[in-house]
């Protein structure tokens, strides 16, 4: 099995798919799955742009809308987590995951799925301590504050992931686990990104909750993005297992943003995307812990007078299996819940949450609550139902068909950039060490490997990066070093040398 890992997509799906197709043709390989580590930007229309936490002048429609509308189809199964530059109104429709377009699947606020025999987990958003213990209270229409806090991870999501007992092979997060720089070439990172030194030396760089998950879950691989630079690390755990960590860059010309992972044949299985029974059981077991209030909500632990370990038993997993019956996540579940992009439409802010049939159906099967539906019920508001002109899904023949809607029963829960030409180490045997650069020496400089810039793309990348990613609440520390497939943001070149490599 070969999977491609992408750093920050930033809506540039066409360019990412073009690069993958170039690699497949050049290396005579077939990639089975694409995984994106956040800032995916699943923007369907102009209203979705208003749900992104970026200045208005940087609200770019990009290319996802083509895959949402059916104008194009993703050529490879794509799985992604959320970051801090997302169409949050759309992702909030799918808190437990779902198809955002044909062949493009969102993992949810937190989640675990299986692709063949490969178990993939992930956490969406970034860590901010002042919001971590709050409930999931944000809801369209967003205020300036909730527009940013909506993508901050919460203790409930981390708590649920901490209940996993079975092995997870690949973990995804947008920001880095705190302390990960201690396991890689820190000097190289700080030489390229000296402004990170203060946070690194004070152990403030990265996410505290995901640091704990890294050492408790001990996945074989952990991929991240966010800081727009490549960084590799090898974490050795007490039980002699290892986690290979790699952070990747953003999708821009000549930046290393893509990595090919070659996995043993034992992971192939049927190469179908499936629900994970243990994860579904955890969602059901912890449903009562859901809070939609903007106050601190603490998770249970040792010494409390209630259950605090929710790792499901065999009988609990058996009940889930009986209710679900079929664990394959079929693409025909996809439903359009918003109008497709119209360049002449006004750019209006999202005003009301939309009921997504994918979430409704999953909540009914598991007997769990949709956070947005709980918020609406508490406030006396009603969720918007998709109108007939947008309520469409794809059948098995890739044809659009109307899908009937149904409402679930609601049960309320208990109250920048390097410009120098550095040398690149060739890794033939791909042995993973703390200094591993994840690079191979295969380089393509022909026109077929170029990723074209959009006609509307500004070429002042340094100025653009600094403006977008330094948000008022310091949600993102900007950095860009080398990554896995592309490097150098020189505005004089749109060439994207495709350096394919495997781990």
d(CA 339, CA 47): 9
In a domain, 342, yes or no: no
d(CA 315, CA 329): 23
- What is the model's pLDDT at position 448? 38
Question: Pick the residue with more confidence: 441 or 396?
Answer: 396
Mean per-residue pLDDT over the chain, rounded: 83
Judge whether residue 158 has pLDDT over 60.
yes
In a domain, 231, yes or no: yes
d(CA 249, CA 230): 6
Asked if 462 contacts 252 with a C-beta cutoff of 8 angstroms, the reply is no
User: What is the arithmetic mean of pLDDT over 219-239?
Assistant: 96
Judge whether residue 168 has pLDDT over 60.
yes
Judge whether residue 493 has pLDDT over 50.
no
What whole-number percentage of the chain has pLDDT above 70? Answer: 77
- Residue the block writes with tokens 């301590």: 129
In a domain, 224, yes or no: yes
* Range in 187-201, 289-303, 390-404 the model is least confident about: 390-404
Nearest one of 169, 194, 277, 204 to 479, comparing CA atoms: 194
Asked if 142 contacts 353 with a C-beta cutoff of 8 angstroms, the reply is no
* Range in 150-159, 230-239, 478-487 the model is least confident about: 478-487
In a domain, 458, yes or no: yes
- What is the model's pLDDT at position 464? 38
Judge whether residue 447 has pLDDT over 90.
no
Residue 300, SS3? coil
- Residue the block writes with tokens 């960590």: 245
Band the pLDDT of 454: cuts 50, 70, 90. Answer: very low
* Range in 19-33, 113-127, 175-189, 373-387 the model is least confident about: 373-387
Sheet with 104-106: list strands edge to edge.
Answer: 98-101, 104-106, 78-80, 33-36, 2-6, 258-262
| Omega prior to 489 cis, within 30 of 0 | no
Handedness of CA 306, 309, 310, 314 (dihedral sign): negative
In a domain, 85, yes or no: yes
Each residue's pLDDT tens digit, 238-254 = 999 999 999 999 998 88
Band the pLDDT of 410: cuts 50, 70, 90. Answer: very low
> Which spans in 13-63 are helix H?
13-27, 46-49
d(CA 369, CA 359): 9
In a domain, 404, yes or no: no
In the numeric block, which tokens belong to residue 114? 């299986």
What's the domain range around 125?
2-278+416-469
Judge whether residue 452 has pLDDT over 90.
no
State the total domains in the chain: 1
Judge whether residue 117 has pLDDT over 90.
yes
Band the pLDDT of 457: cuts 50, 70, 90. Answer: very low
- What is the model's pLDDT at position 283? 98
Question: Pick the residue with more confidence: 498 or 199?
Answer: 199
Band the pLDDT of 495: cuts 50, 70, 90. Answer: very low
d(CA 262, CA 31): 9
- What is the model's pLDDT at position 254? 80
* Range in 125-139, 245-259, 274-288, 489-503 the model is least confident about: 489-503
Judge whether residue 388 has pLDDT over 60.
no
* Range in 222-226, 368-372, 431-435 the model is least confident about: 431-435
In a domain, 51, yes or no: yes
Pairing mode, strands 258-262 and 242-247 = unpaired
Element housing 155 (H / E): helix 155-162
Judge whether residue 159 has pLDDT over 90.
yes
Exposure pattern of 458-469 as b/e (b: 16+ CB <10 Å)?
A: eeebeebbeebb
In the numeric block, which tokens belong to residue 273? 């995307």
Nearest one of 115, 97, 83 to 223, comparing CA atoms: 83
Judge whether residue 59 has pLDDT over 60.
yes
Exposure pattern of 53-83 as b/e (b: 16+ CB <10 Å)?
A: bbeeeebbbbbbbbbbbbebebebbbbbbbb
User: What is the arithmetic mean of pLDDT over 258-264?
Assistant: 96
Residue 275 sits at φ, ψ, to 5 deg, of -65, 150
Judge whether residue 332 has pLDDT over 70.
yes
* Range in 83-97, 143-157, 297-311, 481-495 the model is least confident about: 481-495
In a domain, 489, yes or no: no
Residue 208: give its domain's CATH number.
Answer: 3.60.21.10
């Amino acid at each position: 099995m070969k999977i491609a890992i992408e750093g920050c997509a930033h809506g540039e799906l066409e360019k990412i798919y073009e690069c993958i197709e170039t690699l497949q043709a050049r290396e005579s390989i077939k990639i089975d799955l694409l995984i994106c580590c956040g800032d995916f930007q699943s923007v369907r229309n102009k209203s979705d742009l208003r749900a992104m936490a970026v200045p208005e002048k940087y609200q770019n429609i990009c290319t996802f809308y083509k895959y949402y509308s059916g104008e194009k189809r993703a050529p490879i199964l794509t799985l992604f987590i959320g970051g801090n530059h997302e169409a949050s109104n759309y992702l909030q429709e799918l808190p437990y995951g779902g198809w955002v377009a044909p062949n493009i699947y969102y993992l949810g606020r937190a989640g675990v799925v299986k692709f063949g025999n490969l178990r993939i987990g992930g956490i969406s958003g970034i860590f901010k301590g002042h919001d971590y213990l709050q409930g999931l209270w944000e809801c369209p229409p967003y205020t300036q504050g909730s527009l940013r806090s909506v993508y901050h991870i919460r203790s409930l999501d981390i708590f649920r992931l901490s209940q996993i007992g079975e092995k997870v092979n690949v973990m995804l997060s947008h920001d880095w686990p705190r302390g990960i720089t201690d396991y890689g070439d820190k000097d190289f990172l700080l030489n390229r990104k000296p402004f990170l030194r203060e946070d690194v030396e004070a152990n403030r760089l990265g996410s505290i909750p995901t640091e704990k998950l890294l050492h408790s879950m001990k996945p074989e691989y952990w991929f991240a993005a966010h800081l727009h630079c490549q960084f590799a690390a090898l974490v050795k755990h007490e039980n002699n297992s290892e986690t290979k960590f790699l952070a990747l860059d953003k999708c821009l010309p000549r930046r290393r943003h893509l990595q090919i992972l070659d996995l043993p044949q034992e992971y192939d299985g049927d190469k179908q995307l499936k629900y994970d029974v243990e994860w579904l059981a955890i969602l059901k077991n912890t449903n009562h812990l859901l809070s939609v209030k903007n106050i601190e909500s603490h998770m249970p632990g040792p010494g409390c007078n209630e259950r605090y370990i929710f790792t499901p038993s065999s009988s609990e997993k058996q009940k889930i299996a009986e209710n679900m019956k079929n664990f394959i996540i079929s693409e025909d579940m996809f439903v359009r819940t918003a109008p497709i992009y119209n360049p002449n439409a006004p750019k209006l802010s999202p005003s009301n949450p939309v009921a997504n049939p994918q979430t409704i159906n999953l909540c009914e099967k598991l007997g769990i609550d949709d956070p947005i539906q709980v918020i609406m019920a508490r406030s006396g508001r009603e969720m918007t139902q998709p109108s007939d002109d947008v309520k469409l899904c794809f059948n098995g023949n890739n044809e659009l068909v109307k899908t009937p809607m149904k409402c679930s029963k609601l049960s309320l829960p208990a109250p920048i950039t390097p410009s120098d030409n550095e040398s690149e180490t060739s890794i033939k045997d791909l042995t993973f060490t703390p200094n591993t650069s994840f690079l191979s020496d295969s380089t393509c400089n022909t026109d077929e490997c170029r990723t074209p810039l959009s006609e509307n793309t500004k070429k002042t990348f340094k100025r653009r990066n600094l403006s977008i990613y330094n948000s008022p609440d310091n949600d993102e520390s900007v950095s860009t070093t080398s990554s896995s497939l592309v490097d150098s943001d020189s505005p004089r070149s749109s060439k994207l040398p495709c350096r394919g490599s495997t781990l």
